Chain A
């Protein structure tokens, strides 16, 4: 236990690095996947092509993707960009389908009413379609958030920083406490991110306070997870 006290600085530092490495893939994943999901929802060809590609991406093991990144991007092996790009690809692969489902479940008659009220396509999208798809998009974001936080630990295998360092270092020194600190730290980051997302959802989607429909769809997301 004294180890924790003596290494508080390092624990805090790695916790922050871990957050810094997890955040970009989650944000970029959502920002890229939502428009793609809309295209998959809107166009028949888009559904086939985009869901096909994301399914294929999803099949590539993440460690293999992280390892292959330097040769694809032309970066150095220790560049954090490798991890961020690889995990962003992952997040997009996971999120596109959820985003498409999110738009699919919006009642078409509601969209027709918007048209009847004189909404143009642009206003209809921002004012009606996107907000109504919001709860399901949020549910998908929570899934990719916790899986990304967990995946960042793999970066340690190729020498990158983050809480995964405690796994490789603790293994080499045969020191279970250090590994445990890494596990608990990772779960802690995942919980913090999840709470932040729930809070963000409350702020941005106040109408979804009792999201019976969202809850049902969220279970579907989890079911297939």
Chain B
């Protein structure tokens, strides 16, 4: 079976046209990119506010915990059917579901990162005459970067995985290979699709690790606490 999937992947016919691998990968990436952009804007802003002011933390932790059990497939089809987005406007329920999914890990990374900055450091910056804004951007933000990237990585992984499920309501992306192959029992194509998704997830994760290494200010990595080495520990799809 794996050999057959490999054969499928190597067939040049599968690498061109509207159903070809490059098109599907781009569709998948587009969906992931749009989601992270929207979710990132909301979650980073909220996370910085919570982390800096230490307000609203309990609410967010509770909400994230409750969301963990929310089945994404269920929410996706419910939105698609209930609000009549249906198959025609499949992008709307998909984006809503993916954004809902991506917000908790990014938010958690953001507020935990800001909170992890030693209070003495923040006090020292205040004593030096920095405004709250300057403290956030020039002190807390750079020191929080490792955790912020941890949250982002977790979100990207979840979104790459769940974007596959989105193909169920007729959207493009790599999930198509799974859902097109399922009714006709074309297992080599299903497995090839699975391999492509896994490869994309791995590459994106690697890419984010490299970026985080590149943008981390010198010294942050050396002084980071054990807490910050932790990896995301949850996945809902």
Contacts and interface: CB of A to CB of B under 8 A. Distances in A.
Contacts of A77: 185, 187
Contacts, number: 192
Contacts of A182: 71, 74
B161 interface: yes
23 contacts: A59-B198, A60-B198, A60-B202, A61-B161, A64-B195, A67-B191, A104-B226, A140-B233, A146-B68, A150-B68, A154-B165, A156-B73, A163-B71, A168-B168, A171-B80, A179-B82, A219-B61, A221-B233, A222-B65, A224-B150, A224-B231, A225-B64, A225-B108
Interface in B141-177: 147, 150-151, 154, 157, 160-162, 164-165, 168-169, 175
B81 A151 contact: no
Contacts of A167: 71, 73-74, 77
B237 A61 contact: yes
B154 A157 contact: no
Nearest to B151: A224
A221 B150 CA distance: 13
A71 B104 contact: no
B1 interface: yes
Contacts of B61: 219, 222
A64 to B, nearest CB: 4
A186 interface: yes
Interface string B217-237: 000000000110011111111
A62 B194 CA distance: 9
B187 A147 contact: no
Contacts of B77: 167-168, 170-171, 179
Contact of A67 (B2, B160, B178, B235): B178
Contacts of A186: 69-71, 74
Contacts of A220: 112, 227, 230
Interface of B: 1-2, 5, 61, 64-65, 68-75, 77-78, 80-82, 86, 104-105, 108-109, 112, 147, 150-151, 154, 157, 160-162, 164-165, 168-169, 175, 178-179, 182, 185, 187, 190-191, 193-195, 197-198, 201-202, 205, 226-227, 230-237
A224 B70 contact: no
A137 interface: no
Contacts of B1: 70-71
A97 B71 contact: no
Contacts of B193: 64, 67
Contacts of A70: 1, 187
A149 B237 CA distance: 11
A62 B161 contact: yes
A32 to B, nearest CB: 16
Nearest to A189: B69
Given A56-B202, A150-B69, A176-B82, A171 B154 contact: no
B209 to A, nearest CB: 10
Interface size class of A (residues with CB under 8 A): 35 or more
B233 A157 contact: no
Contacts of A157: 73, 165, 168, 178-179, 182
B111 to A, nearest CB: 8
Contact of A94 (B75, B194, B233): B233
A59 B169 contact: no
Nearest to A69: B194
Nearest to B206: A59
Interface string A208-222: 000000000001111
| Pairs A-B, 3 closest by C-beta atoms | A61-B161, A190-B69, A71-B1
B235 A90 contact: yes
Contacts of A98: 233
A147 B235 contact: yes
Nearest to B86: A174
Nearest to B80: A171
B149 to A, nearest CB: 12
A225 B70 contact: no
Contacts of B236: 147, 150-151
A143 B65 CA distance: 9
